[in-house]
Amino acid sequence: MKYVSTRGGGQAVNFSDILLEGLARDGGLAMPEIMPQVSADMLEQWRQLSYADLATEVLSLFITDIPKDDLHQLAHKSYNKQAFGSDEIVPIKKLDDQISLVGLSEGPTLAFKDMAMQFLGNIFEYVLAKRGATLNILGATSGDTGSAAEYALRGKKGIKVFMLSPFGRMSEFQRAQMYSLQDENIFNLSVKGVFDECQDIVKALGNDLAFKEHYHLGAVNSINFGRISAQVVYYFWAWLRVTSQSDEQVSFTVPSGNFGNILSGHIARMMGLPIRHLVVATNENNVLEEFFRTGIYRPRSAANTYATSSPSMDISKASNFERFIYHLLDSDGTKVKALWDSLAQQGEFDLSTMKPLFEEKYGFVAGMSTHADRLATIKHEFEQHGYLMDPHTADGVKVAREHLEEGVKMLVLETALPAKFTETIQEAIGQPAPIPEHLKGLKNLPQRVDVVDCDVEVVRKYMQERI
């Protein structure tokens, strides 16, 4: 399996190369040259596998330059009871006869990002050891990626992590999770800006090829295909848990900001997993919902990106969206590059003539949720079904109920546990979210963070002084 850039530049390379690279040299994103396919027989053979064994099978389709026995060891090192609290790893939580939640928040930082990050941390260390190399991770987080990456990479040999987060835009719990880490290889930068601006800095430094190569820059954001591939696994896992026949279709609803989580579902569907609809659920920053409704992609400025009560989705420039457009344009990197060049000049692009393909060919539909919606959903699900969910998952459930179809199971990807957003939970149900016993003293721990200006050169200098 080789990987190419969404913008058509450069040669096809192995997985280990794109794992360590982040952005491609031409500014594009790595994608499989040919999408691996699964058959009905393969799906049936996978039904009784443990999560780690299923991960081995799925990931071996994407990672062909690492021996399968080594992948097996990496998967079992990543997905185990010690890290996720039970042998199940990803429980399916039935809300009612129509909707079930895919429990992706059982990991060390209580968010779905752990599902990919635990594997990414281990495979990074493996590849670097094989090559005798080092890596400096530069990432941006709107809340959960940062802590999941830092917990997965803390103390790893040959790796330093520089994580940008938007000043004042994360919950108190999210800040405490990240900033309380005291490991010498972890650096937190609180940037005076919004997430999109943090992401812009990461991309600017990633596109500076001389800087990138001299300082061995890598990425853990979902621009890294290693994360996308690891997330594909739980779509197969969830489908295998709720179906009985190899051709049974289910739909997935995914709370989405950066488009990485639902992109993994798109890839699973293209591989042959029987998915009927991929439902994109956004908050008030509904750039993606607007695109799937109208065909017009119109990212917003930082000033026009709302601060909401589902802060991890306060994103107006979805990094992984380019990967879907690559498929929409028949994997033509030249067309993708031209479209993104136009986007840089015009601030938007119009693919409304292709709108019928969104659902008919790729299964995408979309909806949005507001602050009032998520409060009402949290309250309703808690009172009616005894289930307390975080605000992002509530966005998903609200939108999922608008896209239910007779005879088609709906699975909503849970994105985090409510303890991370206790202020919103208090507003919704009149009481704070319970905090897991082992995290009750988290907010009282000393915090280690540097507040910096929203400036590429400030971040560049910060890194140079610490690498």
Cα 410 to Cα 76, 102, 242, distances in angstroms: 29, 10, 10
Q: Which helix (H) or strand (E) holds 371?
A: helix 371-385
Q: How many CB atoms lie within 10 A of CB 214?
A: 11
Catalytic position from the list 77, 93, 113, 157: 113
DSSP string of 240-251, one letter each residue? HHH-SSTT--EE
Q: Which of 421, 416, 434 is nearest to 111 (CA)?
A: 416
Active-site annotation holds for 113: yes
Rounded to whole angstroms, the Cα distance separating 256 from 253 reads: 9
Q: Which of 248, 310, 243 is nearest to 283 (CA)?
A: 310
DSSP string of 168-180, one letter each residue? T-S-HHHHHHHHT
State in Å, rounded, how far the first CA of the chain is from the last one: 33
Rounded to whole angstroms, the Cα distance separating 368 from 355 reads: 18
Q: Are strands 99-102 and 92-94 parallel, antiparallel or unpaired?
A: antiparallel
Q: Which of 411, 420, 402 is nearest to 309 (CA)?
A: 420
How does DSSP classify residue 276? E
Contact 171, 188 (CB under 8 A): no
Please identify every residue annotated as catalytic. 113
